[in-house]
Amino acid sequence: MINRHISMAALLAVFCIALTAHAAEKPAAANDACAFPTAPLATQEETAWRIFVAMNCKASSGALTWETWTTQACLNNPSDCKGFGRFHQSQLRNGSGSDDPKRTQGCSPMTVSGDKHLLDPFVPTNLSTKPVFCEEVTVNQPEMDYARPKGLLSANGQTDYLFSQKGTITFPTKAIEVKVDWVPASSFTNAKFDCTKRNGQIYLEEIEGVCYAMASVHISSKLYPNWLWATFEPQYAITNPNRCNLALYNACYDPWGSDPAESDGRNTNTTPALQALFTDAGTALDPAFQNYRLTGTQTEFNQPETSNAMLGNSFTEFNAQVKPQEASCITCHAYAQRDANGNTPGGGAPKGDAKIGTPSILTGHKSLDFSWFLGFGVPTQACQDINAGPIFSNNDAKTKCPAVCAVALRTWKGQWTTTEPGVQSVCGCCL
């Protein structure tokens, strides 16, 4: 992984406990707009928008609903749950590296001129000297409830399930994965984000003492057999100057929510149907989300037909250094597979294989049901030793270890070991 990071204040150790406690939290406003659809609606675009609004409705704690779900980094690295922040580097950018999204390594550098990925013509002119963007991935409770009992929350468990038990991974229709990219004002020469004031153009949130802007949102929903892939960006040129740029990835196409339906980057109005959805959400939805637009959707490999099966987010894919005309959410995720040795292709199409449209067949691999969360977001082993301070007896362990494991979203199986007498012991914590 690229070891660059911004300085961020440490988060309280209870962060991951809060995630677990709020996993089933209901939105603050009990209305249809804040409820997730349980079946596909009339169009893919309407389905995508209803998920987008529901996930961004505020929970009773004040957090956005998706922020109360299980975070990928905390799951993979239990030490991250103890005093480090929410963000980790872009796994798409680091896809050929290790499957290890540690938040201790901070954020990722943004794509700048000279990165040699054919992206120079699209590099924004307002970037600062060392611009960064920060990523977090969360999954909802139905996805966790499916994965945990099958042992899918570790790479070894997935390999055993797929090859020894001859299982097939098929997530339930309620499963949702969310990837959000944030960016601080310090990444630009002309940005001033003030989280104390409402911003009608882009959603702002203070995280660990810094005001960040939400520059992109990726949604994956299992309501469709091949999942629904939807990506959103704000109509905000400071952070998203390449939005809907056909020369980069694709123009925007949204016949349900955008007027006009197609855009090459120019701002569009909302349709009456989308505006009614915003109105129904009321105060549970920050007004800034009304300025976000759907770039496009996919449920089949030949979609969107308007862009010859290309779909990419001009912020997420661009800063992950995906080359022009090579972005397709559904095709990339189709390569989320493991072989009998536990290896994955590394975050997308292997060299020489299809990046757009129908994916190539990988010999000896089995599907993770399009989920790079399973490919990147889980540890190799289901059980890990976590520091607990001094433990002096079995009774003492019974008091301390359950809480130590719970912070890391794990359970204690009764094992503990002293590593430094009177100073440090570890609890065996398992997913």
Ranked by mean pLDDT, the top range of 113-122, 359-368, 407-416 is 359-368
Question: Distance between CA atoms of 207 and 240, rounded to whole angstroms?
Answer: 21
C-alpha distance from residue 123 to each of 6, 120, 131, 164 (Å): 21, 5, 12, 47
Q: What is the pLDDT of residues 126-140, one digit of tens each?
A: 999 999 998 888 999
Task: Evaluate whether 260 touches 278 at the Cβ level (below 8 Å).
Answer: no
Average pLDDT of the segment spanning 363-370: 96
Closest CA to 71 of 423, 429, 407: 407
Task: Evaluate whether 105 touches 5 at the Cβ level (below 8 Å).
Answer: yes
Please tell me the predicted confidence (pLDDT) of residue 104: 42
Residue 5 forms part of a structural domain: no
Same domain, 357 and 414: no
Please tell me the predicted confidence (pLDDT) of residue 384: 85
Pairing of strands 228-234, 262-263: unpaired
> Is the per-residue pLDDT at 263 higher than 60?
yes
Residue 2 forms part of a structural domain: no
Average pLDDT of the segment spanning 64-85: 72
Q: pLDDT band for 77, please (50, 70, 90 cuts).
A: low
> How confident is the prediction for the chain on average, in pLDDT?
86
Residue 8 forms part of a structural domain: no
CATH number, domain at 400?
A: 3.30.1490.230
Average pLDDT of the segment spanning 267-275: 98
Q: pLDDT band for 177, please (50, 70, 90 cuts).
A: very high
Average pLDDT of the segment spanning 38-51: 97
Same domain, 395 and 375: no
Same domain, 392 and 300: no
Closest CA to 388 of 380, 377, 396: 396
Same domain, 215 and 74: yes
Same domain, 289 and 413: no
Same domain, 375 and 390: no
> Is the per-residue pLDDT at 354 higher than 50?
yes
Q: Which of 341, 357, 381 is the last residue of a domain?
A: 381
Output 426 or 347, whichever has higher pLDDT: 426
Same domain, 358 and 417: no
Residue 215 forms part of a structural domain: yes
Residue 3 forms part of a structural domain: no
Q: pLDDT band for 79, please (50, 70, 90 cuts).
A: low
Find the domain containing 427 and state its range: 383-431
> Is the per-residue pLDDT at 114 higher than 90?
no
**Residue 204: which residues within 8 A CB-CB, separation 6 or more?**
193, 194, 195, 211, 212, 213, 214, 288
Question: Distance between CA atoms of 330 and 300, rounded to whole angstroms?
Answer: 7
Closest CA to 331 of 375, 307, 362, 300: 300
Task: Evaluate whether 295 touches 232 at the Cβ level (below 8 Å).
Answer: yes
Please tell me the predicted confidence (pLDDT) of residue 285: 97
Average pLDDT of the segment spanning 395-422: 92
Q: pLDDT band for 31, please (50, 70, 90 cuts).
A: low
Please tell me the predicted confidence (pLDDT) of residue 84: 47
Question: For the chain, what is the largest distance between any 2 Cα atoms, rounded to a whole number of angstroms?
Answer: 69
Same domain, 260 and 393: no
Task: Evaluate whether 335 touches 361 at the Cβ level (below 8 Å).
Answer: no
Residue 240 forms part of a structural domain: yes
Number of domains in the chain: 2
Residue 37 forms part of a structural domain: yes
Same domain, 165 and 285: yes
Same domain, 399 and 250: no
Average pLDDT of the segment spanning 77-94: 55
Same domain, 309 and 409: no
Please tell me the predicted confidence (pLDDT) of residue 72: 75
Pairing of strands 228-234, 210-221: antiparallel
Please tell me the predicted confidence (pLDDT) of residue 316: 95
Task: Evaluate whether 302 touches 357 at the Cβ level (below 8 Å).
Answer: yes
Same domain, 346 and 393: no
Output 384 or 165, whichever has higher pLDDT: 165
Residue 57 forms part of a structural domain: yes
Average pLDDT of the segment spanning 223-234: 98
Output 98 or 425, whichever has higher pLDDT: 425
